[in-house]
Structure 1
Amino acid sequence: MLKNNTIKLFTIGFTRKSAEVFFEKLRAAGVARLIDTRLNNTSQLSGFAKQADLQYFLRQITQVDYEHQLSLAPNKDILDAYKQKKISWQDYEKSYLELLKKRSVESIFDSDKLANACLLCSEDKPHYCHRRLAAEYLRQKFESIEILHL
């Protein structure tokens, strides 16, 4: 399953993407499982990425499995503090990575579960997004991970 012992771990955000672009990116990359890392995945603002709809579309359009993994989501306190500009991005990163460590999220995953998986959140780009931080954290724990942002 793993080519050259490398685990491909993808990340994607749904904001500023049409459903067609979003699902075609997943299909073209060969994503097998989408891991939803959002704290709130039921908001009407999520459009096609609202949890129940997303599960259906993934199954019907791309045959991709869906999993909501709250252990990879920031907690409300960290998220609110950043959104309200009470903490900087650097403080957010530090707090979020400490949270992942405290949760021991690496114990939830193994190489088979991460292989060709894709971490989802809402942010368009990965630069200021917790999905990138989660992927990088997991790469530290599973050294053979290659991160690819879709």
Structure 2
Amino acid sequence: MNETRVTTIGFTKSTAERFFERILSAGVKTVVDVRLHNTSQLAGFAKAEDLSFFLRKIGNINYIHKPILAPTDDILKSFKKEKGDWKIYEESFMNLMNDRKIENRFDPDFFNESCLLCSEDTAHYCHRRLVVEYLNDKWGHNLQVRHL
């Protein structure tokens, strides 16, 4: 299997200019939105319909929403609203991906030159990092991951 180049990015604490410049400079061809909910008015320029339009117009970049790569409302609520423990969130989400068998639902080529998008400004405490780590483990560490 060839190495697959995949990036990740969050949109909070970023201007639209900085966000799109990072996407363009990384050579992204497809943004894979891994948020469960992608239509909130609070998302600003990253609201699904707007983001799809901007990506296409600014860089001829495709936009795909894949909520199967997102945590459930229950997992999100226990971590975000109830100030849950990161380790419990991480374990719950990893178990969810395992239960969903996401490694069998996608081909590594699907992610080549893609960028996983969520809201967190850094990948450290974010499920987008967990998604690529999980898949990298399942697919023999052939994903070349860069967090923007």
TM over 0.5: yes
Structure 1 unmatched ranges of 5 or more:
none
Q: Does 1:38 align with 2:35?
A: yes
* Aligned-partner Cα distance in 1 for 2:105–2:64: 12
User: What secondary structure, in the 3-state scheme, does the structure 2 residue paired with 1:23 have?
Assistant: helix
User: What secondary structure, in the 3-state scheme, does the structure 1 residue paired with 2:8 have?
Assistant: strand
77-86 or 10-19: bigger deviation: 77-86
- Equivalenced residue count is 147
Deviations 1:73-98 (A, max 9, x none): 10000000011336310000000000
Deviation at 1:23, TM superposition (A): 0.8
Cα 1:123/1:86, change in 2 over 3 Å: closer
Deviations 1:8-67 (A, max 9, x none): 110000001111111111110001111101111100000000000001011110111111
* Aligned-partner Cα distance in 1 for 2:56–2:103: 26
User: Which residue of the partner structure matches residue 27 of structure 1?
Assistant: 24
Percent of matched pairs sharing the same residue: 49
> Structure 1 length as normaliser, TM-score?
0.94
135-144 or 6-15: bigger deviation: 135-144
Deviation at 1:106, TM superposition (A): 1.3
Work out which of the residue numbers 3, 8, 11 in structure 1 matches 2:5: 8
User: Which residue of the partner structure matches residue 147 of structure 1?
Assistant: 145
Work out which of the residue numbers 62, 66, 70 in structure 2 matches 1:69: 66
Q: Does 1:49 align with 2:46?
A: yes
1:45-124 equivalent positions in 2, closer than 5 A = 45-85=42-82, 87-124=84-121
Over the residues paired in the alignment, what is the CA RMSD in angstroms? 1.2
User: What secondary structure, in the 3-state scheme, does the structure 2 residue paired with 1:85 have?
Assistant: coil
> Structure 2 length as normaliser, TM-score?
0.95
Work out which of the residue numbers 130, 133, 137 in structure 1 matches 2:134: 137
Deviation at 1:141, TM superposition (A): 1.8
